[in-house]
Amino acid sequence: MMTEFFRFTREPFDRDIPVEDLVRFHNHNELCARLMYAAEHRQIALVTGDTGTGKTTAIRAVMKRMDDSRYRFLYIANAGLTPKTLYRVILERLQIQPKFRQVDNQVLTHQVLEESYQKGRQVVIVVDEAQDLDPQMLAEFRFLNNFKADSFSPISLWLVGQSELRETMKLRILSALSGRIQIRYHMTGLTESEVHDYISKQLACVGEEKMIFSADAVKLIAKTSQGNPSIMNTLCRGALLDAATREEQVVDTSHVERAWMEVNG
């Protein structure tokens, strides 16, 4: 109904928006630049931020942008990961048959990762939802990244998680891993002016050239969402649907308020 009423070309504010249509702002651009640097220089990166701030979106953009012939990305999002299964998962993603013992898989993993680098295709391991991993599991990443007595690493490792991961990394058991992290980036929400630009560009992606959200509606969305893109998407979709239901062409604060009430019960 909303799409037909406003004559959009497709559903707006969709979380599965194509990479080429992603709306990029300062924190997105900064994170992408840092992750590309981490990949190019085979570094460990720690990326944190609240749910919906755009961490995974930035990772998608970097994976799309990097040369596929030079970099191979292994994306792992598994809260049940353990030191024993870590190496099996990596080997299976690389289409290598794992061995039975963990120590053998660790040796084989190091061998395969180094061989891939020597052949000109570096592996980048992305561990998402890392805040759900046990500290013992997080500590294992130090050993995953330990090549030639720590003098060399053929891979880049990205640990991505919610804000509490920053506190977890301060645990004593993780001091060795924390000391090896070269890049740290914490995602924050968009500013009010960026929220306006975000909404405008999202509308343009679905064929709407006019700004159909009132200035006060944009301010309310910025305030209630705290600049969180995921919350903004939900509010904008709800407000547009409410406006379409009432056959009103401009989204104002009343539509946003009703959308917010619906989301929060």
Check whether 214 has a pLDDT greater than 70.
yes
Check whether 1 has a pLDDT greater than 60.
yes
Enumerate the β-bridge partners of residue 158.
45, 126
Check whether 246 has a pLDDT greater than 70.
yes
Check whether 65 has a pLDDT greater than 80.
yes
Sequence-distant (≥ 6) Cβ neighbours of residue 50 within 8 angstroms: 162, 163, 187, 228
Residue whose token pair is 């990949």: 39
pLDDT score at 218: 98
> For residue 202, how many C-alpha atoms fall within 13 Å in the half-sphere facing its CB?
24
Per residue in 20-52, pLDDT (tens digit) is 555 667 888 999 999 999 999 999 999 999 998
Which pTM was predicted? 0.87
Check whether 240 has a pLDDT greater than 90.
yes
Note whether 187 and 53 are within 8 A (CB).
yes
- Length of the chain, in residues: 265
**At 157, which helix (H) or strand (E)?**
strand 155-161
pLDDT score at 142: 93
> For residue 76, how many C-alpha atoms fall within 13 Å in the half-sphere facing its CB?
30
pLDDT score at 196: 95
Check whether 126 has a pLDDT greater than 80.
yes
More confident residue, 245 or 265: 245
| Ordered structural domains, the chain, with CATH | 26-186 (3.40.50.300), 190-263 (1.10.8.60)
**At 195, which helix (H) or strand (E)?**
helix 192-205
CA angle 174, 176, 180 (to 5 degrees): 110
Handedness of CA 244, 249, 253, 256 (dihedral sign): positive
Check whether 19 has a pLDDT greater than 70.
no
Note whether 15 and 190 are within 8 A (CB).
no
pLDDT band at 193 (very low <50, low <70, confident <90, very high): very high
pLDDT score at 71: 97
Per residue in 66-87, pLDDT (tens digit) is 999 999 999 999 768 998 899 9
Per residue in 90-123, pLDDT (tens digit) is 999 999 999 989 899 999 999 999 999 999 999 9
CA angle 239, 245, 250 (to 5 degrees): 55
pLDDT score at 150: 61
pLDDT score at 147: 80
Per residue in 134-156, pLDDT (tens digit) is 999 999 999 999 886 566 789 99
Alpha carbons 40 and 22: distance in angstroms, whole number: 23
What letter would DSSP give residue 190? P
| Segment among 75-84, 124-133, 212-221, 229-238 with least mean pLDDT | 75-84
